[in-house]
A and B are shown apart, each in its own frame.
Chain A
Amino acid sequence: MALLEMQNVRKRFGGLIAVDGMNILVEEGKIYGLIGPNGAGKTTLFNIASGFYKPDAGEIIFGGERVTDLGSHERCARGLARTFQIPKMFPEMSVLDNVMIGALSRTKAVEAARRDAEEIVEFLGMTGKKDALAGSLRVHELKRLEIAKALATKPKLLLLDEPMAGMNVVEQGRLISVLKRVHDAGTTLLVVEHVMHAVVNLCEHVTVMNSGQKIVEGGTREVLANEEVIRIYLGEEDKC
């Protein structure tokens, strides 16, 4: 069943058309990838999906409900959560407290939120660091915290904005396992990503974007073997 639908979404910034009639369909229970070269409009589309930008045209339907006019906090309440590419956390609070903010979206009681937060922190293997100040964490720990915070809001769909950015291959491998566990626990994922081995390892379905438009979509292996996709990423082959 379709969890997220983006229909004919359009967005321009002055003279630049960032998203030009994009259609996306995310089905419940799968892991989707959204890839494309820099400047393709992926992040803009992502921000529209999560409610940080309003589209100039088009509709966003989440769980059968039209959410186009709803703000990001309202979408979060309905089960649509997101992470930020450059982690945005609460630097003066501990890791646990950061996650508690997410948990407080589901319960008013601070004690109950603390228990929920501790579970999530445990699930993501951060219990050892739970009292550390978020401002003191390293990049890969911050990435994990981003996911923990979003998970605490008990989302049906989690949008991840370039989760692999800024980490070495080992750390990326660990994050891929974490995301797989998150998916196995019942969350649908839509991942914007540049790191191809992550896309191949994680995503069953991939949509390719270029210049604000959908180029092709389908199963990951077929899409990545597609000639046009290769051309978009690697450029024209020189005929000498």
Chain B
Amino acid sequence: MKITQNDALVYRLIASGSILAVFLIIPFVVGNYLTQVILFGLITAYLCGAWNISAGYGGLVSFGHAGFIGIGAYATTIPLVYYGLPGWLGMLLGGAISAVFGYGLSWAICRFDVKGFYFAVSTILFAEILMSIAARSRYLGRGMGVPLPAVANAFNFQFLGVIPYYYMALVLACCMILITHQIERSRLGWYLRATRQSEDASSALGIDVTMVKVVALTLSAFLTGVGGGVYVLALRYCSPYDVFGIMFSTTLMLGTLLGGRGTVYGPIIGTAILTVVKEVLTFTAEALGGVSSFALVLVGWGIILCFVAKFLPNGMGPWIWNRVAKKIAV
């Protein structure tokens, strides 16, 4: 069945609209627990999208993006708890400080020609060093971290219930789709893809590879920092081992790679799969009794990663799209 370009656009709009409508009414249809699960799923999807910009498109595979999450988290928490700085301002502050770190990091890797494996390791160190500092600092709450007070102050972005945070997360996820979509079709998007595939060829064709990397990493850092702020506001707890943790960094990578790196919807699809698997396995582990749910989830995610790496290296998103596109033959 052949359809025209215009029809395809209409179908896409209808599909997007329906999905969005579903997400809008979810809090009123499912219980509190599930709403919270989806809330954090949306935040994670957003963060995966931020990682996708510098890593998926730009090829700067950072293993320590939690560094930026943590910066955003603490930049939101500390001023809020100690000085009453509104949450939304903290988010932006977190994004800005993350951006500065991102800028510094990208400048350093270009100046010292740090690539591939070495770049990955340096980002791990980046997150781990920040975690160590935060876990030892009395001002930052040491290893216990800092709890956020449960008050209702809408101006500060502090809410008692789950629902307002759910919509914040939904807004974030939608923004990420729009941002990624815009980047993908802009010249920056083309230059990111070119730089990832061949720096020499890019340079010979007039691309300032350093500039591309700096822009990619700084932008990604900013967006990740903002996400870190929203995360701790919704969780109401800022713990160094959580926000700077390797598990968080790994989740971002896993979600993006699973769903399809370098695509607009990949991070979301990947996060959805991870979230569903996590909930199912957690439920299973609890039902079984003596099994650690954390361990079971790790095993489950690990199996999925192996499967995708072997059979669908471009991720599930492109695979699904290929099947759909073949069926409707656009």
Binding site for A on B (CB under 8 A): 185-187, 190-191, 193-194, 197-198, 200-209
Chain A interface residues (CB < 8 Å from chain B): 50, 52, 71-74, 76-77, 81-84, 88-93, 97, 100-102, 104-105, 108, 110, 113, 149-150, 152-153
Q: Is the CB of B203 within 8 A of A73?
A: yes
Q: Which residue of B lies closest to A88 (CB)?
A: B201
User: With A and B bound together, what is the CA distance between A97 and B197 in angstroms?
Assistant: 13
Question: A88 touching B206 by the CB < 8 A rule?
Answer: no
- CA–CA, A71 and B110, complex, Å: 14
Given A100-B190, A104-B191, A110-B187, answer yes or no on A73-B198 (Cβ-Cβ < 8 Å): no
Q: How far does the alpha carbon of A83 sit from the alpha carbon of B204 in the complex, in Å?
A: 8
Given contacts A92-B197, A110-B185, contact A101 B205 (CB under 8 A): yes
- Which of chain A's residues have a CB closer than 8 A to the CB of B206? 73, 76-77, 102, 105, 153
B95 CB to closest chain A CB (Å) equals 26
- Of A52, A92, A102, which one neighbours B205 at CB under 8 angstroms? A102
For B201, what are the chain A residues with a Cβ–Cβ distance below 8 Å?
A: 84, 88-90, 101, 149
Contacts of B203 in A (CB 8 A): 52, 71-73, 76
Given A84-B200, A84-B201, A110-B185; A105-B207 close (CB under 8 Å): yes
The CA of A175 and the CA of B206, in the complex, are separated in Å by 24
7 interchain pairs (CB within 8 A)?
A52-B204, A81-B205, A84-B204, A91-B197, A93-B197, A105-B207, A110-B185
Q: A77-B206, A153-B205 are in contact. Are A101 and B190 (CB under 8 A)?
A: yes
Q: What's the minimum C-beta distance from B288 to chain A, rounded to whole angstroms? A: 43
* Interface SS majority for chain B: helix
The distance in angstroms between the C-alpha atoms of A149 and B191, with both chains bound, is 14
B208 touches A73 (CB 8 A): yes
**Cβ contact within 8 Å between A50 and B204:** yes
Q: Identify the interface centre among B186, B190, B191, B208: most chain A CB within 10 Å of its CB.
A: B190
| Residues A90 and B204 in contact in the complex (CB < 8 Å), given A108-B187, A110-B185 | no
When distances are taken between beta carbons in the complex, the residues of chain A under 8 Å from B209 are: 73
Query: How many angstroms from the CA of A217 to the CA of B324 in the assembled complex?
Result: 62
Q: In the complex, A152 Cα to B190 Cα: how many Å?
A: 15
Contact A76 B204 (CB under 8 A): yes
Q: What's the nearest-Cβ distance from chain A to residue B266, in Å?
A: 15
Q: How far is the CA of A34 from the CA of B209 in the complex (A)?
A: 29
Distance (whole angstroms) from the CB of A79 to the closest CB of chain B: 10
B202 and A101 contacting across the interface, CB-CB below 8 Å: yes
Residues of A within 8 A of B198 (CB): 88-91
Give the top 5 A-B pairs by smallest Cβ distance, nearest first.
A105-B206, A76-B206, A88-B201, A90-B197, A72-B203
B204 near A81 with CB under 8 A, answer yes
Shortest Cβ gap from B148 to chain A (Å) = 44
| Residues of chain A within 8 A of B191, CB atoms compared | 101, 104
Please measure, in the bound complex, the distance between the C-alpha atom of A88 and the C-alpha atom of B198, giving whole angstroms: 7
Question: Which residue in chain A gives the minimum CB-CB distance to B199?
Answer: A88
Nearest Cβ distance between residue B202 and chain A, in whole angstroms? Answer: 7
A165 to B190, CA, bound (A): 30
What are the residues of chain B within 8 A of A88 when measuring CB–CB? 198, 200-201, 204
Q: Give Cα A76–Cα B194 distance, bound, in whole angstroms.
A: 16
Neighbouring A residues of B200 by C-beta, 8 Å: 52, 84, 88
Q: What's the nearest-Cβ distance from chain A to residue B208, in Å?
A: 5
* Cross-chain contact B202 with A150 (CB below 8 angstroms): no
